[in-house]
Structure 1
């Protein structure tokens, strides 16, 4: 499937994500087996000490891995997360987070992905924030 077709498919699904709209997340890049999603810092994504909330970081990693997985299934299918495990490496405020999801193995039913989350500060400095491993399953598309 050409990259533009993949991008359109992922963008259409992404646009249906109420949580991603609420958090102001955006797609940055889509290729076969890869997806990059950005999350800007705002009061929508903070915890009590004004850092990015772990739930927002986890959601970003889940979305990046999930959409990387979506690029490997037929157009009449979607994917859903069965599980993920995330390690938080450092806390950050300001700037934005970028999660890069990669497909490790795409089977007919089960897909394993990873996602790396980095923080990019106002000066463009990149720092490791979190790493995730995820299991997805393909399901019929219902919309």
Structure 2
């Protein structure tokens, strides 16, 4: 039996997304890192630290939302022209559970890409010290392509 494989991402796709990601002051401040980029998909990690916790010690919902927004936004950016960027019009997030320690992984996926509107989803997972994954949050987002200004 032949198992189909996903098409490989263009070699410059990760570099294009990474160049934009590294301009994200908030993500740099929080310690986030770009993990995976494929056409229509982006994965971003956020390690636990005092920069991302709330008063009870768990990951702050704002940090979860920002991570989901970035993952979904960069998933959208993989499907627009190389001379374009994207911006979020709106997103809705459901927090499923709170966690301390470990790291969060947000996996953004393009649900539908149109010429003017791109709809994405992001799943936020918590990874504990042993690598066990638990659902943390779900987001749906509306994105629009914009001209690249840098």
Q: TM-score, normalised to structure 2's length?
A: 0.94
1:109 to partner: Cα distance: 1.1
Match of residue 121 from structure 1: 128
Match of 2:15 among 8, 31, 45: 8
The corresponding residue for 2:149 is 142
Instruction: Give 1:2 shift.
Output: 4.3
Separation in 2, partners of 1:90, 1:6: 33
Deviation at 1:132, TM superposition (A): 0.2
Q: For 1:41 and 1:19, how far apart are their aligned partners in 2? A: 15
Against the structure 1 CA distance between its residues 126 and 80, is the aligned structure 2 distance closer, same or farther, given a 3 Å change threshold? same
- Structure 1 residue 60 corresponds to structure 2 residue 71: no
Residue-pair matches, total: 143
Asked if the contact 1:69/1:136 (under 8 Å) is kept, the reply is yes
1:130 is matched with: 137
Is there any run of 5+ residues in structure 1 with no aligned partner, and where? none
CA deviation after TM superposition for structure 1 residue 4, in Å = 2.0
Structure 1 partner of 2:94: 87
Larger Rg: 2
Aligned partner of 1:21 among 25, 28, 47: 28
SS at match of 1:134: strand
- Structure 1's consecutive aligned runs of 4 or more residues displaced over 3 angstroms after TM superposition are none
> How many angstroms apart in 1 are the aligned matches of 2:70 and 2:17?
11
Q: What's the CA shift string for 1:19-64, capped at 9, x where partnerless?
A: 0000000000000000000000000000000100000000000000
Cα deviation digits, residues 83-130 of structure 1 (max 9, x gap): 000000000000000000000001011000000000000011100000
What TM-score does the superposition give when structure 1 sets the normalisation length? 0.98
RMSD: 1.0
Distance 2:101 2:65 in 1: 17
**Is the contact between residue 90 and residue 129 of structure 1 (CA under 8 Å) also seen in structure 2?**
yes
